[in-house]
A = this chain, B = another copy of it.
């Protein structure tokens, strides 16, 4: 009786993930970590780039006076200027330090945006399959998640988007490259989404924010190029982090970048900073801010991920698993050979392979494989994947 009813209900809804997690831990204890092929987590095995390590060493040897103190809630001016320079390069629009708020990861970025813009019962549109924490973040600030289905290639359909928008809509979240599917939205699609939102803003006389979760924007394959949302839509915001490009997920360093010509910018930026402070983040970790401002153009070696993608995609496809070939991030999202994805994930678990059922992303009937692990783990999993493929007569 001492726990919040809402938290209790949400925990109960997710209790199956907890159960799976506990079963996985039991397996690990029973057979040893090394005998389990854990493909369930988006926790990159790669170490941060050498430039990060050098910068950390340099700062530890030559500390800047006061470098662990509070700074402005928005973050260091120098760090925001460095981020703005990179965002300008990538989006082709002139951004300044004043358009950036440094945050506690992309999760912090999404939460301050949502708190800054949502009134009770406002709706936020997401495209299923989607990262399920979006629903928790939206709920934190009194909003309601509206999940819209995607097409066979996991791309948003404009008709469905249009139909989902109403007077209560205040934001649409897109995530390309996508977790859990790995698909990358083409430029034309992003432009079209912008056109739909602009039309609907006018129709209903409401502000609709396009929030682009770009946590995986540096991880793209097949020579694909980053497509910025800013040129596609005026009321757009980027929420992102250095968790993936610099392999720093545990350090909680990210940022919000707002469209430099967004309506009502001073008030919106003030609100973002206010929410950064009052949600208890206060500011993005100081030391990381001091480091990442020198590393805006740096990334972990993407070809290594591309190789992992190729290896696993080719092998699983050969075995008969059906999936859209991912062009970014570090996930595969194959169709579950049986309707019940939780049951299928259990079958894989019997072969010591850990994955996540599609319902964990609002889309039952699929399962997610994470390939941000070492090659040994990927290779070791193939035996089990093949056995299960045979068991379900996939080829």
Each complex incorporates copies of this chain amounting to 2
Q: Does A136 contact B (CB under 8 A)?
A: yes
CB within 8 A of A250: which of B41, B70, B118, B137? B70
- Whether B282 and A252, one on each chain, are in contact in the complex, defined by CB atoms closer than 8 angstroms, is yes
| Binary contact track A103-119/B, C-beta < 8 Å → 1, others 0 | 01101101100011111
CB within 8 A of A1: which of B10, B45, B60, B207? B207
Q: A274-B10, A278-B140 are in contact. Are A57 and B68 (CB under 8 A)?
A: no
Q: A133-B278, A279-B140 are in contact. Are A68 and B247 (CB under 8 A)?
A: yes
**Residue picked from A7, A71, A283, most chain B C-beta under 10 Å:** A7
- Whether A70 and B57, one on each chain, are in contact in the complex, defined by CB atoms closer than 8 angstroms, is no
Q: Does A332 contact B (CB under 8 A)?
A: no
- Whether B285 and A68, one on each chain, are in contact in the complex, defined by CB atoms closer than 8 angstroms, is no
Q: Does A61 contact B (CB under 8 A)?
A: yes
Q: Does A63 contact B (CB under 8 A)?
A: yes
B-contacting residues, A25-73, CB 8 Å: 41, 43-45, 47-48, 53, 56-57, 59-61, 63, 65-71
A residues with CB within 8 A of B: 1-8, 10-11, 41, 43-45, 47-48, 53, 56-57, 59-61, 63, 65-71, 104-105, 107-108, 110-111, 115-119, 133, 136-137, 140-141, 207, 209, 235, 247-252, 263-264, 267-268, 270-271, 274-275, 277-288
Chain A to chain B contacts (Cβ below 8 Å), 14 pairs: A2-B209, A3-B264, A3-B267, A11-B270, A11-B271, A47-B63, A48-B68, A68-B250, A69-B249, A71-B250, A137-B278, A250-B286, A251-B285, A252-B281
